Amino acid sequence: MHRYRTAADREIAGFIAAQFAYGKIEVFMGFLEKLFALMKDGPQRFVEDGSGDGFKGLYYRFQKEADLVLLFDVLHRIVKDHGSFGAMFRKYYEGDARRAIWRIREEYLPRDGRLAFFFPKPSSAGAQKRWNMYLRWMVRKDDIDIGIWDFINPGELTMPLDTHIYKVGRCLGWIKQKTPSYRAAREVTDALKRYSPSDPLKYDFFLCHGVGIGAGCTGKRTKKCRETCAVYEI
């Protein structure tokens, strides 16, 4: 999304990048390079044109060519109806991102289960990690997050809960849930609000990459943790 200048392009680029951000980073980055190479005039124009011809033979893990065609058809209809992805989310957002996503699904995919990976069905358990990461990018503002959505307060965001954040949260006693879930995501978010009530997700990148990945957090305290973990004393 940092490659593009307009908010509309950045919104769509961010959404696509977030939704395919699973698996090995070098693999999904390679796929994204191929996908964005099709969008020579920018993601917004590509979506507006609504052509799926370039997807032939393109796939990433569980998402095959037909899934890409359907996904971009949904994005085309969203942009046609609302003008931009941000305008669409603003319409459906009423303080709860999960319910906004569920409303979007009900509007554009009421009877189709094929895109549940991108637009999840209502569930009390799903952590919606990739959506929460996307919202962090759109709402917060720093060197990583572009902060172009002013209708959501950073304090309303939920932690993008991946395996690394989950292990760190369990190790520090922030997460009581025994499996990754929406409740676990809220637990770690609420714990971080003790340090920054207005912007708890500012710790996300550091905890994930600096502690979870960099220090190899296993979710359990050991003698080695004292030597490698930057938040051991918390």
Contacts (Cβ under 8 Å, ≥6 apart) of 173 = none
In angstroms, the Cα distances linking 83 to 58, 127, 137 are 27, 28, 20
pLDDT of residue 3: 94
Which of the residue ranges 51-55, 146-150, 172-176, 217-221 would you say has the lowest mean pLDDT?
51-55
**Phi, psi for residue 63 in degrees, rounded to 5:** -95, 115
Structure tokens at 99: 């319910």
* Global pTM value: 0.94
Helices (H) then strands (E): counts for the chain = 11, 0
d(CA 136, CA 144): 10
Residue 105 CB neighbour total at 10 angstroms = 20
Q: Where are the domains of the chain?
A: 1-122, 151-234
Tens digits of residue pLDDT in 105-133: 999 987 878 899 999 999 889 999 999 99
